[in-house]
Structure 1
Amino acid sequence: MINESVLLESRTLRTSVLERTDVLDRVKALSLLPDGLHVTTAMVAAYYEVTGVVVRALLFDHREELESSGYRVLTGTELSYFKQLGDIPSQVSSLAVFPRRAVLNVGMLLRDSEVARQVRAYLLDAEAEVRTRPVDNFVHRASLGELDERIDNRITDVLGKTVVPMLNALIETSGEQRHELTSLREDIEQIQHRLVEHDLQLSRLQRGQDVRALTGVIGTIDAMTWKEYQQHVAGLLRRDGCTDVEVYGGHGGDRGVDITAKTADGRSVAVQCKNFAPFRHVLSGEMQKFLGSSKVLHQADVALYVATCAFTRESLAIAAQGGVTAVHRGLLEAWSAGVRLQVLR
């Protein structure tokens, strides 16, 4: 088995395991910014139970490596976008953010953190399992799967960030072709969905379908069936003072939402519940569909999209513009642990 000191000293080895960010959730919950994708320097320090000074010193020594893992400092329009999502003071002129890969990278560099040691232990156990596995067709299929996954992710990224926005612009200015363009956009979004499902299947294959069970609140949620998950969210609404809570359970009559309720002060609530895999993202098309259901069909005062995963930047932008509260994995964990959603107060 690889010694921990080798992982600490070898950047090549660290780079080879950067995609295994699921180990972060196995050790403890990682709080995320409202975009569901990034954390601040203070949040990294809190996760590893060290001071911010320690993390900044690590950045000073390994900045180039951490930047290659996704660490960056936001300014200008990017920073403005994060401020619109909330939790970032308006007077802040720059913001350092880490995606999950960079957070994992920090854990492979921190020497004096018990949490970081646990993260490295999970990584080394997984690496040892891979190295000792017999080479057979399963492994070859997994290798091909990794290539397919990269291709799928690239196609999904192009569709979501280029093709769909372009079609949206054309639809806004089109006349008699509006119906055909709208239909084409729906077809493309269906392709996005299929690619995501393909990615999920490949991820399960590559993990050997033997990922260790998560622990704690979010682990319990991940183990729920979709019906149990909906009842869990309904219970959170009742706990926070909502009345007339009704769970539709996907059996029709819901008009595109899973739960309806009334807040304590009488506002109508519409909820979409999605218990996706944690490495999945809620896509823009999914958010657009719920926006129409919650705000147009149900005319809800409060619209909640509650997911066990993160949201893409495009879906978060749609949610912010349409008045939908995006409850991502980290916020769901906090809500489940007793923190009341601000929109329900």
Structure 2
Amino acid sequence: MPPEGALLESRSMRDSVMGRIDALDKVKALRLLPDGVHITTEGVARYFEIHREAVHSVVKRHRDELHANGMITLNGSDLQDFEMANLATSADGAPVSYPQGRAHLRLFTRRAVLNIAMLLRDSDIARCVRTYLLDAEDDLRKGYANLDRRVTDVETCLGGVGVALQELGPVLHRMSYRLDSLDRRLDATNQVVAAISNRLCQMSEDINRVDARVDDVVHQLRDLRRGRKRR
């Protein structure tokens, strides 16, 4: 597992785990504004248990990176509309108080807050978030390594099966040839049996005809004997 400081120093490493916003609530509940999406600078400071100036300092040093991960600054009519929609209560039911006449309002998404967690050096909460991220990535890598081993084992087994199939190839070919030969012989035998059956049918008809002729002869002989007796 890489050291916790790697996230502080490497933007590419931070980008690689930026999707793990679940790490925030695993360490501490993050209370968003009523829109369910954003949190103010003050809210970020409360989450990390630091002064808001520490948040401003991180923003100054990494403004582009934070903008890329959802940080926005509202002013003018956009600010007024947002304050009207989120002025009543915060996500946890507590009243929201905005300074009157502010010129702008900086807001952070969960992704931007996670980004700050990987940039803050002097916050125990931020350290816990970084540790959670690194542990989760380490578990993921171990899972991938275990999967790779299983895939390798399967490939090894399949390789053995391939060799066995290659060795069985000639045997299967010979068996196929013999089965074809048996099929041909069986067909020939069936033809002979069919011919014998036909011949037997013909013989049966011949026998029936002979029987009929014999019966005729017998009847004729009986008739002759009866004629003689009458004389």
The TM-score range, normalised by the shorter chain, is 0.5 to 0.7
Distance in 1, matches of 2:79 and 2:66, equals 20
The structure richer in helix per residue is 2
Residue aligning to 2:50: 50
How far the C-alpha of 1:50 sits from its partner, in A, is 0.7
Structure 2 distance, partners of 1:62, 1:49, is 20
Residue in structure 2 matched with residue 153 of structure 1 by the alignment: none
Structure whose alpha-carbon radius of gyration is higher? 2
- Post-superposition offset of 1:89: 4.8
Q: Secondary structure of the equivalent of 1:133?
A: helix
Q: Is the 8 A contact 1:35 1:82 kept in 2?
A: no
Q: Structure 1 CA distance, aligned partners of 2:43 and 2:13?
A: 25
Give the TM-score, by structure 2 length.
0.56
Hey, what does 1:41 align to over in structure 2? Answer: 41
Partner of 1:108: 118
SS of residue paired to 2:45 = helix
Partner in structure 1 of residue 138 of structure 2: 128
- Give, in angstroms, the shift of residue 32 of structure 1: 1.1
Aligned residues: 137
- The whole-number CA distance in structure 2 between the counterparts of 1:56 and 1:130 is 34
Structure with larger RCO (C-alpha < 8 A, sep 6+): 2
**Residue 90 to residue 35, structure 1, CA distance change in 2 (3 Å):** farther
Matches within 5 A, 1:304-343: none
Q: Which runs of 5+ in 2 are unaligned?
A: 88-95, 149-231
- After TM superposition, give the deviation of residue 93 of structure 1 in Å: 2.5
Match of 1:23 in 2: 23
Structure 1 unaligned regions, length at least 5: 138-345
Superposed CA RMSD: 1.6
* Residue aligned with 2:14, SS: helix
d(CA) in 2 for partners of 1:121, 1:81: 38
Question: What is the 5 A alignment of 1:205-216?
Answer: none
In 1: Cα distance, 2:14 partner to 2:80 partner: 33
How far the C-alpha of 1:19 sits from its partner, in A, is: 1.3
Structure with greater strand percent = 1
Alignment of 1:1-345 (within 5 A): 1-85=1-85, 86=87, 87=96, 88-89=98-99, 91-134=101-144, 136=147
2:187 maps to what in 1? none
Residues 81-135 of structure 1 deviation map (CA, whole Å, 9 limit, x = unaligned):
2111213455222100000000000000011100000000110011111112136
Contact 1:23 1:123 in 2 (8 A): yes
In structure 1, distance between residues paired with 2:35 and 2:15: 25
Aligned amino acid, residue 101 of structure 2:
Q
